Structure 1
């Protein structure tokens, strides 16, 4: 059996922060079948700032106690995504720093409504590769809550 010293092990669910968006304490489900990561968002509005494309949205956090957080981020692209139920959907893509355990790295997130889903954040395979992570699906919350709290004002409602 091969082992890889440079890879970190995570479980099927982990705590993450998105410091550039001012979001802390997000429960994320790991989805190795998804290429791109996804963040639950509504009221998604593209706009221009200094000649650049941006997107403004409301992120929804928590499952038992709902929290909303207004965010703005540069728009990376607009992608056509086929969801697990086979439906094709156009989604906005943002690029932001993500903290998991004691590590931080940039991750692309598509923005979509996940109100009927248990987890507001899915981490796809591109984020796992970039973070040099391997998943043990028999475990959950292997990593400690992220050390880096936030670099942006919170603004949670």
Structure 2
């Protein structure tokens, strides 16, 4: 059997931070069947700043206790996505840093309403590839819960 020592193992669910958006302690579901990651968002409004396209939105985290966080991020593109229920929709795409365990790297998120879903964040396969992660679906919360302390030193 082959082993991959340079890859980090994560479970089916992990704690993440999105430090550029000021969001801490978010439970994320790992979805290897999804290409792009998704963040639960509402009130999505595109706007222009210094000649560049941006988007502002309300991010929702938590399930039992809902927390809303108003965010702004540069707009990468608008992507046509086929959701798990088979519907196709246009979604705004942002790029922001993801903190998982002791690592920090940029990934893309589509913004979509996930209010009926248990997890407000899905991490798709592109994020896993960029982070050089492998998933053990028998495990959950393998990595330590990240903190905002000293994220500049995260790898």
What TM-score comes out, normalization by structure 1 length? Answer: 0.94
Correspondence 1:64 to 2:35? no
Match of 1:124 in 2: 124
Q: Which runs of 5+ in 2 are unaligned?
A: none
Following superposition, which runs of at least 4 residues in structure 1 exceed 3 angstroms of deviation? 147-151
CA distance in 1, matches of 2:20, 2:124: 19
Does the CA contact (< 8 Å) of 1:102 and 1:147 recur in 2? no
Separation in 1, partners of 2:150, 2:84: 32
Any idea what the Cα deviations from partners look like across 1:61-81, whole Å, max 9, x if unmatched? 100100000000000000000
Q: Which whole-Å CA distance do the structure 2 matches of 1:150 and 1:44 have between them?
A: 30
Matches for 1:2-151 after TM superposition, within 5 Å = 2-149=2-149
Task: State the alpha-carbon separation in 1 of the partners of residues 149 and 47 from structure 2.
Answer: 28
Query: Matched residues in 1 for 2:16 and 2:22: separation?
Result: 12
8 Å Cα contact 1:23-1:150 kept in structure 2: no
Offset at 1:85? 0.9
Q: RMSD in angstroms over aligned alpha carbons?
A: 1.1
Q: CA deviation at 1:33?
A: 0.2
Aligned residue pairs, count: 151
Looking at structure 2, the residues matched to 29 and 3 of structure 1 have their Cα atoms a distance apart, in angstroms, of 24
Match of 1:154 in 2: none
Q: Unpaired runs of 5+ in structure 1?
A: 152-157
d(CA) in 2 for partners of 1:146 and 1:89? 32
1:149 CA drift (Å) = 4.7
